[in-house]
Amino acid sequence: MTSRFCCKSPRKTGWSNSRLLSLLVFVLGMAGCAGKPWGAARSEKDVEAVAAFAPGAWTALGVKREAAAEGWLLDFGNETLRELVKEALAANPDLKAAAARVEQARQDVRVATADLLPTLDGSGNASRAQRPGDQRFPGLGQRANRFNLSLDVAWEPDFWGRIRDERRAAVASFEAGTADYHAARLSLAANTVKAAFAAAEAEAQVALATENVETRRLQQGLLEKQLDRGLDAEKVALDVSLGRADLARAESELTGQKRALDAARRSLEGLLGRYPAGRVAELKALPEPRRNVPAGLPAELLSRRPDVLAAELRLFESLNLESAARKALLPGIRLTGDKGYSSQELADLVSVQAAVWTIASGVTQPLFQGGRLRAGAKRARARYDELLNVYAGTAQTAFREVETALAAERFLVEQQEELARAKVEAERAEQLALGQYGRGLVDVLTVLDSRQRAYDANRALVTARALRLRNRADLYLALGGAFD
């Protein structure tokens, strides 16, 4: 089959200037299409369809409250917390590995960029050979020297934009890796903050459990003295046994809280890149957030979330790889040339008489490769479809995480207020029970029960405060940063 664009002279075939102009416009148009990847319009519609799921505003927000705009770490107002995060970002090995992956992707971009440029290679060689002499003059051989010096140039013009597609894919991969690195930094910072809150919570629980044990020991001592004095021995003996049982339970709880504190410290040290010795200095106390979550947070804040950005960039990378795979089916042009010197004498090597040069060009058109190129293009399209759904899933996960954290913030604030009231009432009931027991109005079970209620209320309040702080860190992580 003869190509309609065969290389014949227009004068011999009777081509008019208008036909030449039409051909030129077609060629330039095809070259212009190389400026963006094959299927770019389709990809834009796909991304817009995913973005359509985003709400205009988050549904789980409550009443708007005015507050100063600060960074998310500043929101906790704790210098120790900021120092812990700074240490984690500087020393965590997983984050260093992520940074190394970004550097690999950066060099991949340089490799892809180099394919757009001509290659230049230099070579030189020297040889010496001897041939047999003529049979009429035995023993006389012929020796010859040869010295060569050359520069070889090769270039494949990116006529269809295939190499540019591959470079755009490499750039997108690098930018996605950079987004992954920032996501890892944000995740590490949030996890460090939550681990610090967990350690501070465990420290507060140990303090409460220690106070509970000391109080019960004091009360138990008073009961033991009553038993020694022989006052109503049978009743006092029952009170003593009940008190001993509660004291043992309180001591067991203290041991459990110490174990939780030790585990929390070691977990925090792991995030900091330290040896998990269990000796890290945690927060002195659980901080209070400096501001409430403002109402009216725009859903556009989610566009800065690193994992969502990375998923979109990988979709763009796959689009360019699909485009490059399709363009591999088109003809390729390669230009080569070399210039050098060749001489039998080294002294005459670099001279006009010894100069040699070659210029060549070639066109290749894939004809049959067993379906490899077409399979590659179809595989690239399937990869694009996969990453499109990954992108959609990442966006939906982000929406869910933000809405869940926003709703939890409101519930946890209410829960903390309710537990604060429960703590006040439980402590008041404990004091009343102690007073009435001293006057013989209630039995020891009432005292022990009131003491347990007060202890449980304090424990629950500490847990709720820590849970709210961890949820606030999760909210910043879900939003990809502060509220602004």
pLDDT, tens digit, for every residue of 339-352?
766 666 666 666 66
Question: Do the strands 142-155 and 332-343 form a parallel or antiparallel pair, or are they unpaired?
Answer: antiparallel
pLDDT, tens digit, for every residue of 235-287?
677 878 888 888 899 999 999 999 999 999 999 999 998 999 888 877 888 98
Domain count for the chain, please give it: 1
* 103, 178 Cβ separation under 8 angstroms: no
pLDDT, tens digit, for every residue of 407-439?
999 999 999 999 999 999 999 998 898 888 778
pLDDT at residue 3 tops 90: no
Q: Give the residue numbers spanning the domain of 202.
A: 27-117+160-330+372-479
Tally helices (H) and strands (E) across the chain: 10, 4
For residues 330 and 334, what is the distance between their CA atoms, to the nearest angstrom? 13
For residues 52 and 30, what is the distance between their CA atoms, to the nearest angstrom? 33
| 12 vs 279, higher pLDDT | 279
Local confidence band at 228 (pLDDT 50, 70, 90 cut-offs) = low
- Please state the pTM of the whole predicted model: 0.75
Residue 310 three-state SS: helix
Containing H/E element for 191?
helix 162-229
For residues 190 and 192, what is the distance between their CA atoms, to the nearest angstrom? 5
Mean pLDDT of 171-200: 92
**What does the pLDDT read at residue 468?**
94
- Of the candidate ranges 91-95, 138-142, 224-228, the one whose mean pLDDT is the lowest: 138-142
Cβ neighbors of 328 (< 8 A, separation 6 or more) are 162, 366, 373, 376, 377
pLDDT, tens digit, for every residue of 304-351?
788 999 999 999 999 999 988 898 888 888 878 777 666 666 666 666
Q: How far is CA 82 from CA 72, 88, 259, in A?
A: 10, 10, 26
**261, part of any domain:** yes
Structure tokens at 142: 């012929």
For residues 438 and 447, what is the distance between their CA atoms, to the nearest angstrom? 10
Residue 336 three-state SS: strand
**What does the pLDDT read at residue 355?**
73
Structure tokens at 87: 């240490």
**The CATH number of the domain where 204 resides is what?**
1.20.1600.10
For residues 292 and 410, what is the distance between their CA atoms, to the nearest angstrom? 10
DSSP secondary structure, 265-282, as one string:
HHHHHHHTTS---S----
**136, part of any domain:** no
Structure letter (DSSP) for residue 57: B
Structure tokens at 243: 């008190």
pLDDT, tens digit, for every residue of 47-93?
777 766 555 544 443 333 332 223 588 888 888 888 999 999 999 88
For residues 465 and 436, what is the distance between their CA atoms, to the nearest angstrom? 33
Local confidence band at 137 (pLDDT 50, 70, 90 cut-offs) = low
Local confidence band at 232 (pLDDT 50, 70, 90 cut-offs) = low
**173, part of any domain:** yes
Q: In whole numbers, what is the pLDDT of the chain averaged over residues?
A: 80
Question: How many CA within 13 A on the CB side of residue 220?
Answer: 16
**What does the pLDDT read at residue 217?**
86
- Of the candidate ranges 50-59, 118-127, 215-224, 360-369, the one whose mean pLDDT is the lowest: 50-59
**What does the pLDDT read at residue 226?**
64
**What does the pLDDT read at residue 346?**
64
**460, part of any domain:** yes
Mean pLDDT of 26-42: 58
Cβ neighbors of 92 (< 8 A, separation 6 or more) are 188, 271, 272, 273
**34, part of any domain:** yes
For residues 163 and 114, what is the distance between their CA atoms, to the nearest angstrom? 10
* 206, 263 Cβ separation under 8 angstroms: no
Q: How far is CA 72 from the centre of its chain?
A: 18
Name the one residue in this structure whose structure tokens are 């690195």.
181
Containing H/E element for 342?
strand 332-343
For residues 445 and 240, what is the distance between their CA atoms, to the nearest angstrom? 11
Using only C-alpha atoms, the chain has a radius of gyration, in whole angstroms, of 39
Local confidence band at 389 (pLDDT 50, 70, 90 cut-offs) = very high
**14, part of any domain:** no
Cβ neighbors of 433 (< 8 A, separation 6 or more) are 442, 446, 447, 449, 450, 451
**20, part of any domain:** no
Phi and psi (nearest 5°) for 456?
A: -65, -40
